[in-house]
């Protein structure tokens, strides 16, 4: 078995190679309007129905910053424990493309709104010794471009400008990751934080969060190699695949006498390979200069304090709180991975149930049922209050764990609370020692040979007697009492 603590290496013909990874994540800001216009941002609208005169770059139209977009970027920076720059500035990034009516993108190259921060990741959720801190270099806000559609006409490409001008946060990591697993863990953790904060919905399928994957290889401890950038990768799994493929491709290229070109590449998810798109530009190629239509952003203390007060409990703090309640580190990680799951579980334990029992039940029983039904926890047929009712019935001995499984299935089907189902179906657990003794006597009499074997030392038969008693009482007998009465009669 491979050592989980061993560093990830690419094995080449000339020895082992280390991979160096940095991610530039573009996260669409949750807001009702675009970064510099009042046009709507809803996903899935008819093409070119959410385009203002500013977005279309009509002459004389001036951009006005959206306060909410700035607020969301600042809140994100605070959640990443990053430096918030009270003074920042917008720059024009000049390039021509058909989906960019202005002929430039408004971005922040020299003076971003957020400076350095960090994220702590776990490469193995079950092992807290795999923790690693990944540096954040900066977060800047910028406009998104429109979208070219190449499948609408046999000879022409169409353009949809609905996305043009939508606010993006570009979150740039340090090149601190050294394996596909670390890149995947970083992206999952970043997505979770953004969704907890509410600054991005993290929907990678719809393109509201996507990653540019920077990869280079080197001999362990050597100088950094030439990097490539694979653009617009839209899932955690694909990011990990890009790292794996690109690292191997670069090693093979170098060992065969070639050199890695600094270039932009695209990922083909069907073939699992990257392909060259264009040579990588440098900043000077874009002729950046301060946007003359926009004043610098100056943030006052009151604004920053308002942003700070709005930050909710974040995944790491919530996980530690759960662990202090006696919940296992693994269950705590699972329960805090998605903001909806954490919210549902918080509502469950607010109903005064045992946190550890609730966590075990949620991870084992509820998640299994939701997977089977193909629904999310937000669509769960069983509410936190109803789940608490079920757990309380087990806790006070009204029903056994076995009966609880039956009751839960009926709750999933009907949506009824557990106590109503137990009453209607007559499923209450019996603690009547007289009834239990009567059934035990019948079973021992019918299995006299096994009783003799048990008394002769075959202790494993005890489970047989328990099972037969529970079966005879249709699972309604109190298991603890069954065990106690059986031991008394067999002693």
Tens place of pLDDT per residue across the chain (491 aa): 345 568 999 999 999 999 999 999 999 999 999 999 999 999 889 999 999 999 999 999 999 999 999 999 999 999 999 999 999 999 999 999 889 999 999 999 999 999 999 999 988 877 778 899 999 999 999 999 999 999 999 999 999 999 999 999 999 999 999 999 999 999 999 999 999 999 999 999 888 999 999 999 999 989 999 999 999 999 999 999 999 999 999 999 999 999 999 999 999 999 999 999 887 667 778 899 999 999 999 999 999 999 999 999 999 999 999 999 999 999 999 999 999 999 999 999 999 999 999 999 999 999 999 999 999 999 999 999 999 999 999 988 888 888 899 999 999 999 999 999 988 988 876 666 787 788 888 888 888 888 888 887 888 888 888 888 878 877 777 777 788 888 888 87
| CA distance readout (Å), 362 to 337, 411, 412 | 14, 14, 14
> Sheet containing 289-290: which strands, arranged edge to edge?
104-107, 91-94, 289-290
Continuous segment of H or E residues that includes residue 419: helix 418-425
Question: How confident is the model at residue 104, as a pLDDT?
Answer: 96
Q: Cα–Cα distance between 202 and 210 in angstroms, integer?
A: 9
Burial class (CB in 10 A: 0-12, 13-18, 19+), 5: exposed
Q: Cα angle vertex 229, ends 28, 274, to 5°?
A: 105
Size of the chain in residues:
491
Q: What are φ and ψ of residue 435, in 5° steps?
A: -65, -40
Q: Cα–Cα distance between 464 and 443 in angstroms, integer?
A: 10
Q: Cα–Cα distance between 95 and 142 in angstroms, integer?
A: 14
- 289 SS3 class: strand
Question: How confident is the model at residue 432, as a pLDDT?
Answer: 66
- 366 SS3 class: helix
Q: The tokens of 338 are what?
A: 């998605």
Question: How confident is the model at residue 431, as a pLDDT?
Answer: 67
| CA distance readout (Å), 182 to 16, 29, 116 | 19, 25, 19
CA dihedral 306, 309, 311, 314 (to 10 degrees): 160
Which residue in this structure is represented by tokens 């540019």? 212
Q: Cα–Cα distance between 100 and 102 in angstroms, integer?
A: 6
**Secondary structure E strands in 114-174:** 117-122, 131-143, 147-149, 158-160, 167-173
Question: How confident is the model at residue 466, as a pLDDT?
Answer: 81
Q: Where in the chain is the domain with CATH 1.10.10.410?
A: 433-490
Question: How confident is the model at residue 5, as a pLDDT?
Answer: 63
Question: How confident is the model at residue 426, as a pLDDT?
Answer: 80
**What is the torsional sign of CA 316, 317, 322, 323?**
positive
Question: How confident is the model at residue 2, as a pLDDT?
Answer: 44
What is the helix, strand, coil percentage profile of the chain, to 5?
40, 20, 40
Q: The tokens of 244 are what?
A: 């794996």
Q: Cα–Cα distance between 208 and 30 in angstroms, integer?
A: 9
Architecture of the domain whose range is 433-490 = Orthogonal Bundle (1.10)
Long-range contacts of 321-324 (CB under 8 A, 24+ apart): 322/355, 322/359
- 278 SS3 class: strand
| CA-derived radius of gyration, the chain | 30
Instruction: Decide: 207 and 217 in contact? Cβ < 8 Å.
Output: no
Continuous segment of H or E residues that includes residue 91: strand 91-94
Q: Cα–Cα distance between 14 and 86 in angstroms, integer?
A: 50
């Amino acid at each position: 078995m491979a050592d989980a603590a061993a560093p990830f290496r690419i094995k080449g013909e000339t020895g082992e190679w280390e991979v160096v990874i940095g991610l530039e994540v573009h996260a669409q800001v949750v807001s009702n309007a675009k970064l510099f216009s009042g046009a709507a941002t809803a996903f899935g609208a008819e093409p070119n129905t959410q385009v203002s005169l500013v977005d279309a770059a009509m002459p004389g139209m001036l951009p006005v910053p959206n306060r909410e977009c700035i607020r969301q970027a600042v809140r994100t920076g605070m959640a990443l424990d990053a430096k918030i720059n009270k003074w920042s500035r917008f720059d024009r990034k000049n390039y021509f493309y058909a989906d960019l009516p202005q002929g430039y993108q408004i971005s922040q190259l020299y003076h971003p709104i957020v400076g350095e921060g960090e994220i702590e990741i776990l490469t193995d959720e079950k092992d807290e010794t795999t923790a690693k801190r990944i540096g954040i270099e900066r977060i800047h806000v910028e406009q998104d471009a429109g979208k070219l559609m190449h499948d609408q006409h046999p000879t022409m490409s169409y353009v949809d400008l609905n996305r043009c001008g939508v606010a993006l946060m570009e979150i740039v990591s340090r090149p601190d990751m050294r394996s596909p697993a670390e890149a995947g863990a970083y992206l999952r953790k970043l997505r979770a934080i953004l969704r907890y904060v509410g600054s991005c919905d993290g929907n990678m399928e719809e393109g509201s969060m996507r990653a540019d994957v920077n990869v280079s290889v080197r001999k362990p401890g050597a100088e950094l190699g030439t990097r490539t950038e694979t653009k617009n990768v839209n899932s955690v799994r694909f990011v990990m695949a890009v790292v794996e493929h690109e690292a191997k491709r670069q090693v093979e290229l170098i060992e065969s006498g070639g050199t890695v070109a600094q270039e932009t590449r695209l990922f083909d998810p069907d073939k699992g390979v990257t392909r060259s798109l264009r040579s990588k530009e440098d900043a000077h190629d874009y002729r950046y200069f301060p946007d003359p239509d926009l004043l610098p952003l100056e943030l006052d203390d009151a604004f920053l304090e308002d942003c700070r007060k709005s930050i909710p409990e974040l995944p790491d703090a919530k996980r530690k709180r759960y662990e202090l309640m006696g919940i296992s580190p693994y269950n705590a990680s699972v329960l805090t991975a998605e903001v909806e799951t954490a919210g549902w579980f918080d509502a469950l334990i607010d109903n005064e149930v045992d946190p550890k029992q609730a966590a075990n039940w949620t991870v084992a029983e509820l998640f299994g049922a939701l997977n089977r039904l193909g629904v999310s926890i937000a669509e769960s047929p069983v509410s936190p209050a109803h789940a608490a009712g079920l757990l309380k019935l087990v806790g006070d001995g009204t029903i056994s764990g076995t009966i609880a499984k039956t009751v839960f299935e009926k709750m999933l089907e009907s949506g009824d609370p557990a106590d109503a189902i137990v009453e209607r179906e007559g499923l209450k657990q019996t603690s009547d020692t007289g009834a239990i003794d009567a059934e035990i006597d019948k079973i021992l009499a019918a299995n006299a040979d096994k009783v003799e074997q048990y008394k002769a030392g075959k202790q494993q038969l005890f489970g047989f007697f328990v099972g037969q008693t529970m079966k005879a009482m249709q699972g309604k007998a109190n298991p603890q009492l069954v065990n106690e009465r059986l031991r008394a009669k067999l002693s």
